A and B are shown apart, each in its own frame.
Chain A
Amino acid sequence: NAGVMQNPRHLVRRRGQEARLRCSPMKGHSHVYWYRQLPEEGLKFMVYLQKENIIDESGMPKERFSAEFPKEGPSILRIQQVVRGDSAAYFCASHKDRSSDYGYTFGSGTRLTVV
């Protein structure tokens, strides 16, 4: 079984450009979470999605950030008009619906660098 796949692994964007980060959850997992990790800091929750629904976006910045998890295809985290402070590692995790296994499976992350 493939794990949680994130791409790209590394992404460089100039200030003002858009960044699109992709996450394909594990097979059979219908819940996706996005976390951000700034340099030398812990992971901060951003958003929790199920297929076609945003369940909890309390950790998302109010502007420039959006996330989706369409019926078909990967979950996308979109950052518009990136700034230097957006430079971070972005991790995606997936979870099985109502499973006795409560462990989340994380991807290897996308490292975004804004220059």
Chain B
Amino acid sequence: DAKTTQPPSMDCAEGRAANLPCNHSTISGNEYVYWYRQIHSQGPQYIIHGLKNNETNEMASLIITEDRKSSTLILPHATLRDTAVYYCIVGPGGGNNRLAFGKGNQVVVIP
């Protein structure tokens, strides 16, 4: 599995957009970028995934650079409930695969 690099922690202001970076310089051509988050003591929650194109859903937007070596997860209007550990993971698509979680990025939304 390709490795990802995320900052260990970051703070975001409530109501503002939160931009979470991720580097995955060794990603291979058929690997997707997945984002999950884990709110304290709960099970991880799927957020979004993408291959090449930018993606948006009701939770977030995913911006992938043209060379696919990095990506940014955007939470458009951060709320206190978005405080969580965010995991950026790369891996094969199509399901049926184990996901390798790293240490993630502890995001704290500040009032």
Binding site for B on A (CB under 8 A): 4, 31, 33, 35, 42-45, 48, 55-56, 59, 89, 91, 93, 95-99, 102-109
Cβ–Cβ contact B94 & A102, under 8 A: yes
Cβ–Cβ contact A31 & B99, under 8 A: no
Chain A residues near B45 (CB-CB < 8 A): 106
Query: Complex Cα distance A29/B94, Å?
Result: 14
Cβ–Cβ contact A109 & B43, under 8 A: yes
| Nearest neighbor of B48 in chain A, beta-carbon distance | A103
Contacts beyond the supplied A43-B101, A98-B96: 13 A-B pairs with Cβ under 8 Å: A42-B102, A42-B103, A42-B104, A45-B99, A91-B43, A95-B95, A99-B95, A102-B32, A102-B94, A103-B46, A104-B99, A106-B43, A108-B43
Binary A-proximity of B2-33 (CB < 8 A = 1, otherwise 0)? 00000000000000000000000000000010
User: What total of chain B residues lie within 8 Å of the partner, measured CB to CB?
Assistant: 23
Cβ–Cβ contact A59 & B98, under 8 A: yes
Cβ–Cβ contact A43 & B98, under 8 A: no
Q: Is B76 an interface residue (CB 8 A)?
A: no
